C-alpha cells in the first residue's frame, strides 16, 4: 500500500507540506483473503539509494559495536555526520541519520464500529547475528543507557537520541531492532524492510482475517523531494521466503528451454551420429 501521498486524493497528501508536524494520516484498505500463519509487515521505499557508495560507507561499525573510543571519536567515514556542535554523533553517519521514522499502526475495522488494533511485535525482526554480535551498546553494565551515551549527541535528523528509541532496555540504543534493520543497507534502490511481526496467536483464527483495515501513519519521513515512494506491505512466507514470482517464472522458462534444447540436440545427435561415426572411425 503506497502511502507517500503524492496523489492529491490520498489522505497523506497533506503531510507533504513541511508545516504539518506531527502529521497523522489514515489509509483504509481491504484484505480479500485472510492471512494464515505469521504475517510480516514491511515498509518499502523506492528510489532510495541505500546502495550508494558514499551512503554505504558512511557508518562506523566500531561505534555500533559499542567501542567506547569510537563512540566519542567516530570514524572519518561518517563525515559529514560525524560531529554536531562539537559533540560526536552517536550513531554517526548518513545511514543512521536517514533512519526511517514513520510510525505505522494497523487496525482491523471488523463488524463493530470499534476498530481493534492489531498487535505488532517489535522484536525478532533483525538477524540474530546483527542483534547479538554486530550491534552492541557501549559497555557499562547496569548504568543507564543515557549515562553510557554521555558526551554524544543525536543525529541531526533524529527527534530523539539513540538511547530513547524504545523503553525496553533490550531493544534500546544501538540494539534497537528498527535501527539494526535500517542499518543493514539494501542492495537495490527499491527495497522493503521488515517493520513488525504479526504473530499468530490462535490456531483457530487466521492471523489477519479478511476484512477492512485501516493503517494509521505518523508521517515523519520525507521522500517526496527525490521522487521516493513509501509503501506498507503485508506478507506471509513459505519455506523459501517471501512470495517471489520471479524465481518461479525463471525456473519454468529455463526448464522448458532446456527441455526443448535437449530434444533438439537429441534429434541432431541421432541424425548425425551415423554419418559422423563412419567418418570418425576412418579418419
Partner 1 sequence: MRPAPCRIGAAAGGAGARGERSRAPPPQPPAWAGQGRRGGRRALSADVRQAVGQPAGSRGREGRVSHGIAGTLLGEMALCAKKRPPEEERRARANDREYNEKFQYASNCIKTSKYNILTFLPVNLFEQFQEVANTYFLFLLILQLIPQISSLSWFTTIVPLVLVLTITAVKDATDDYFRHKSDNQVNNRQSQVLINGVLQQEQWMNVCVGDIIKLENNQFVAADLLLLSSSEPHGLCYIETAELDGETNMKVRQAIPVTSELGDISKLAKFDGEVICEPPNNKLDKFSGTLYWKENKFPLSNQNMLLRGCVLRNTEWCFGLVIFAGPDTKLMQNSGRTKFKRTSIDRLMNTLVLWIFGFLVCMGVILAIGNAIWEHEVGTRFQVYLPWDEAVDSAFFSGFLSFWSYIIILNTVVPISLYVRYVTSLPQGLPRELKWSHSKVFFSVKMHCAGLEHRALSEMLTACIPEAEGLQRGPVWVGHLPAPAPSLTSCPLCSVEVIRLGHSYFINWDKKMFCMKKRTPAEARTTTLNEELGQVEYIFSDKTGTLTQNIMVFNKCSIHGRSYGDVFDVLGHKAELGERPEPIDFSFNPLADKKFLFWDPTLLEAVKMGDRHTHEFFRLLSLCHTVMSEEKNEAQSPDEGALVTAARNFGFVFRSRTPKTITVHELGTAITYQLLAILDFNNIRKRMSVIVRNPEGKIRLYCKGADTILLERLHHSTQELLNTTTDHLNEYAGEGLRTLVLAYKDLDEEYYEEWAERRLQASLAQDSREDRLASVYEEVESDMVLLGATAIEDKLQQGVPETIALLTLANIKIWVLTGDKQETAVNIGYSCKMLTDDMTEVFIVTGHTVLEVREELRKAREKMMDSSRTVGNGFTYQEKLSSKLASVLEAVAGEYALVINGHSLAHALEADMELEFLETACACKAVICCRVTPLQKAQVVELVKKYKKAVTLAIGDGANDVSMIKTAHIGVGISGQEGIQAVLASDYSFSQFKFLQRLLLVHGRWSYLRMCKFLCYFFYKNFAFTMVHFWFGFFCGFSAQTVYDQYFITLYNIVYTSLPVLAMGVFDQDVPEQRSMEYPKLYEPGQLNLLFNKREFFICIAQGIYTSVLMFFIPYGVFAEATRDDGTQLADYQSFAVTVATSLVIVVSVQIGLDTGYWTAINHFFIWGSLAVYFAILFAMHSNGLFDMFPNQFRFVGNAQNTLAQPTVWLTIVLTTVVCIMPVVAFRFLRLHLKPDLSDTVRYTQLVRKKQKAQHRCMRRVGRTGSRRSGYAFSHQEGFGELIMSGKNMRVSSLALSSFTTRSSSSWIESLRRKKSDSASSPSGGADKPLKG
Binders in 221-250 for partner 1, by CB under 8 A: 222, 225-227, 235, 237-247, 250
Confirm if 1 and 215 have CB atoms less than 8 A apart.
yes
Q: List the one residue from 101, 186, 206, 218 that touches partner 1 (CB under 8 A).
A: 186
Q: Tell me, by CB under 8 A, how many residues bind partner 1.
A: 84
Q: Locate 133 and state its grid cell.
A: 554480535
Q: Is 84 strand, coil or helix?
A: strand
Measured from the CB atom, the residue of 55 and 214 that comes closer to partner 1 is 55
Q: Locate 263 and state its grid cell.
A: 530434444
User: Could you please report the per-residue DSSP string of 28-80?
Assistant: EEEESSPBPS-EEEEEEEES--TT-HHHHT---HHHHTT-HHHHHS--GGGTT
121 binds partner 1 (CB under 8 A): no
> By CB under 8 A, what part of segment 137-166 binds partner 1?
none
Measured from the CB atom, the residue of 4 and 50 that comes closer to partner 1 is 50
CA 250 to chain centroid: 25
Q: List the one residue from 80, 110, 151, 211 that touches partner 1 (CB under 8 A).
A: 80
Q: List the one residue from 191, 216, 218, 220 that touches partner 1 (CB under 8 A).
A: 191
Tell me, residue by residue from 90 to 119, as one string, x for binding to partner 1 by CB under 8 A and - for no binding: ----x--xx---------------------
51 binds partner 1 (CB under 8 A): yes
62 binds partner 1 (CB under 8 A): yes
Query: Are β-strands 83-84 and 191-198 bridged in parallel, bridged antiparallel, or unpaired?
Result: unpaired
Measured from the CB atom, the residue of 203 and 270 that comes closer to partner 1 is 270
Q: How far is CA 41 from CA 31, 193, 215, 216, in A?
A: 14, 9, 11, 13
Confirm if 214 and 26 have CB atoms less than 8 A apart.
yes
55 binds partner 1 (CB under 8 A): yes
Nearest to residue 71, comparing CAs of 57, 60, 56, 86?
A: 60
Quote the least distance from Cβ 203 to partner 1, whole Å. Answer: 19
> By CB under 8 A, what part of segment 26-45 binds partner 1?
38, 40, 42
Quote the least distance from Cβ 207 to partner 1, whole Å. Answer: 12
Confirm if 210 and 32 have CB atoms less than 8 A apart.
yes
Q: List the one residue from 33, 111, 187, 201 that touches partner 1 (CB under 8 A).
A: 187
75 binds partner 1 (CB under 8 A): yes
Q: How far is CA 202 from CA 40, 122, 177, 198, in A?
A: 16, 19, 26, 12
> By CB under 8 A, what part of segment 246-275 binds partner 1?
246-247, 250-251, 254, 257-258, 261, 265, 268-269, 272-273, 275
Amino acid at each position: 500500500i503506497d502511502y507517500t501521498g503524492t496523489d492529491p486524493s490520498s489522505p497523506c497528501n497533506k503531510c507533504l507540506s513541511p508545516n504539518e508536524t506531527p502529521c497523522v494520516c489514515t489509509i483504509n484498505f481491504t484484505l480479500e483473503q485472510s492471512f494464515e500463519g505469521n504475517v510480516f509487515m514491511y515498509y518499502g521505499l523506492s528510489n532510495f539509494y541505500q546502495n550508494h557508495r558514499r551512503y554505504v560507507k558512511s557508518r562506523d561499525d566500531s561505534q555500533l559495536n559499542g567501542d567506547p573510543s569510537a563512540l566519542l571519536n567516530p570514524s572519518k567515514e561518517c563525515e559529514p555526520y560525524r560531529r554536531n556542535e562539537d559533540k560526536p554523533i552517536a550513531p554517526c553517519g548518513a545511514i543512521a541519520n536517514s533512519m526511517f521514522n514513520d510510525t505505522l499502526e494497523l487496525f482491523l475495522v471488523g463488524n463493530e464500529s470499534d476498530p481493534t488494533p492489531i498487535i505488532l511485535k517489535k522484536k525478532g525482526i533483525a538477524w540474530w547475528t546483527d542483534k547479538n554480535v554486530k550491534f552492541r551498546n557501549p559497555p557499562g553494565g547496569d548504568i543507564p543507557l543515557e549515562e553510557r551515551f554521555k558526551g554524544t549527541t543525536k543525529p541531526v535528523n533524529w527527534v530523539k537520541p539513540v538511547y530513547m528509541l524504545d523503553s525496553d532496555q533490550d531493544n534500546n540504543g544501538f540494539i534497537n531492532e528498527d535501527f539494526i534493520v535500517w542499518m543493514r543497507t539494501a542492495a537495490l534502490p527499491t527495497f522493503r524492510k521488515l517493520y513488525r511481526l504479526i504473530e499468530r496467536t490462535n490456531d483457530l483464527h487466521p492471523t489477519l482475517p479478511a476484512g477492512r483495515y485501516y493503517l494509521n501513519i505518523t508521517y515523519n519521513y520525507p521522500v517526496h523531494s527525490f521522487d521516493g515512494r513509501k509503501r506498507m506491505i503485508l506478507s506471509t512466507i513459505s519455506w523459501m521466503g517471501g512470495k517471489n514470482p520471479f524465481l518461479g517464472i525463471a525456473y519454468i522458462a529455463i526448464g522448458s528451454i532446456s527441455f526443448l534444447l535437449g530434444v533438439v540436440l537429441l534429434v541432431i545427435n541421432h541424425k548425425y551420429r551415423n554419418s559422423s561415426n563412419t567418418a570418425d572411425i576412418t579418419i
